[in-house]
Amino acid sequence: MKQGQMRVTKYAAKFNELSHFAPNQVASEEMKMDHFEQGLKGPIKWMIAGHVFASFHEMYQRVVKIARS
């Protein structure tokens, strides 16, 4: 696993863990994706900006794919 992919995976795991403590912040898929995107760093955040995703899972898969490259 590449370092960028590992960072994204760790960030997503921590994001999901902490989201249980603030359910009102992730009450919808759109809110969850918005907060997840805000926490991304560097070129990954820039590369997904402006994209519309159907679900958090789709967004996460795209972010991991970007981190892999």
Write out the two tokens for 45.
Answer: 């955040």
Confidence at residue 5, expressed as pLDDT on a 0 to 100 scale: 74
Confidence at residue 44, expressed as pLDDT on a 0 to 100 scale: 93
Extended beta strands in 5-57, E state: none
Domain ranges for the chain: 3-68
> What CA–CA distance (Å, rounded) separates 68 from 19?
25
Which pTM does this prediction carry?
0.88
Confidence at residue 1, expressed as pLDDT on a 0 to 100 scale: 66
pLDDT digits (tens, 9 = 90+) for 5-58: 778 999 999 999 999 999 999 999 999 999 999 999 889 999 999 899 999 999
